[in-house]
Structure 1
């Protein structure tokens, strides 16, 4: 609120600070232990009785599966034990719920809670009305499975929550859930530095797509898209924190919005190996002739998340087959193909990857896909088929196995990606964004999925080697796999003959009587040269394909056969008129078609013209003439504008 001024109240301003500190608040609810929104890697403990009793087993309502126990159990029973949860962001923690061990009479009867924002300094929750200033001791469980919920005296802002048992029955064992609001995203943002970049978008929520801006001489500015390609976009994405590079370059998009800042870079020519965009050759700072619809934008490939899977294949466009890999502790690794990896386990992987109909087959020989270079993360996988993710299935402890390189697992999934394709399989967008894109038929999103696969084919260093191995597989005559590939190619190329044969084979296999009877009649007709039947088949195909020329010829043939004099006379007059370019006749013909099609606008204009000519309405006729001249002039101007635009682009 201005208090004093010179001349007139006028100013420009900027605001400096930290935050936001209260963004994205949700209704208080579970923060993700039971639902696995919080990954296993976020659960740690002071000690574990064994790997099967690990901290990751400390999730509310978790039951025993095979050797994996139904609770976290400490190695020893003393007051120094704890289990800790990393919420991965700041939340307002409101309450905690606990249970005992599902299969044994072991539970925690009382405990303390501590909270931290950095994982180093913890503050124990204290009482207010009872023993104010002293550590609050919460009442725990009295049996194995009853859920006991305790509300904190005052909500705590935490990223790390630590539960510390005080007393217990039998052995320190528990399952838990945390309830609260958030995320709060309260970490202060560092001031931008010279040559920093950012992606800006006014309408999208993802941080990995937007208009490219560079911080230069104290201001954010735009990058001109002249010459801006995939190599430049890859450097931008890597500098922005997405090391997998770019999916695609986006020239100005409405959803990214316009910048109000200056132009800072143009004619950027990265090789793709630079650490920062400003390391690339470019025009002089600030020199450009760009307009605001030439702002460069990019979409980056998302970073994989804990427990994501992927199928690695020499055929990147056939996304439903390949070597199965899982992402754990920051690296991709293989899944061991032992005798107990069955179709149920493969189906869980296929559904996680986005193929809702599960698995078609397990591939035993993987020479065509390579053996992979990562370690074996999973072995002895025993899915029941209902799990949401492969990592939910019982298996040996991560990385503990004796698998060899010839035991990598490959799978083939059924059908096409469809239904709810989530970030668990594609790790491209958040689940909400992907659902929204499919619901709205977001062509850009669907297109960039295709582009990502194509980019993988171009960037994969092992592609040519895998291709060579595939040729060797052909030489070895792997008939089942080669037949499958042939079917895939036929679907991709819409090979009608092949697909028809395939359909016939399926009909024989399923004993589809109607289909087989029709097929038999067609074959007999061809064999006997039954002209009537063959003509009937041809007519049916024409109707199905809406072959207008054929149908018109058919109509004319029927007219000749029936000696339809009126039709034949009209047909003769039309042909003569077209041959002689009889304008009056052709105009009448157009009017007849308009009446037949009930073209209201055309008929109304026709009526007004006829009335005007009949009444010699000079004003109307003059207006009609002027409209025709204006229309011609408009078309000429549009042609000139198009030529000028092409010259400017060149």
Structure 2
């Protein structure tokens, strides 16, 4: 078993896990339907601000995507009034536990679950009438009391999503940044006829987003690993970026690490994914054959390899500095505060011991 230093944000915990925790043969894209449509999310987990005529005919549990009118119910949730105070929400987690228990208390946090990444929503109008939501906002919460709005890119205000233009077409809306949450709430802001909708949520369980992206096992090819500089010796392949695969021990003519030509903050190493990927973190090690490692680093990400953003702290919106290694061989695991959509991930050392040298892996869905 390998010792891993687990570092979500600034929290430091030393744990021991098998490498299987972060290795998976099957690829997940974190675009699973989370269970509104198929009933995995139970009726008691879907609640609304109001229901038209206070009737089960228009109840929140009729709001499942693709639901059609049935005896005693209609094919949508419809609000009692048409105003900006209406909402419908789903509690994620254990379907045997509702958002509120019979005695009025909330489900335990472990039952509702705070381990779901939600990346977007699907919405439709009312199946049996010309009623639909044309614009909406989305809120999320971990406890059902304190709510945050999904924000525009770079946190430039509350995101307003365009909704439906007819009754039955499914509209898919992805969030600029995935949210880790226990509850999702849809708030209509404009509508046709009457506030009515059906919906589904897209995402995945948080632990499904800890798969190795392929630096270590070679699925990410040598040509997809690049660096700012490579330390030059008579053995020209000795310190190349393509040697920086996690747990690489080295082989004849190479060593098991990337070594920068200079020790300054302008150095970086990057991996290019085969397609746009939801990336959740990185794993790093030092040089296996010498006491040289990166002790602190930042992360950049890009969709095109030209325009780059830094992973930032969630509250201060400053570039996040991750703690790195304290020896040559221990694997340090650093999760991002939120997943990022990227085709390229770049590690930028900001402090080091000896020389800038590292091995790494990218974690993704």
TM-score range, shorter chain: 0.3 to 0.5
Q: Which has the higher helix share?
A: 1
Q: Which has the higher strand share?
A: 2
Quick one: higher RCO (CA 8 Å, sep 6+), 1 or 2?
Answer: 2
TM-score (norm 2): 0.43
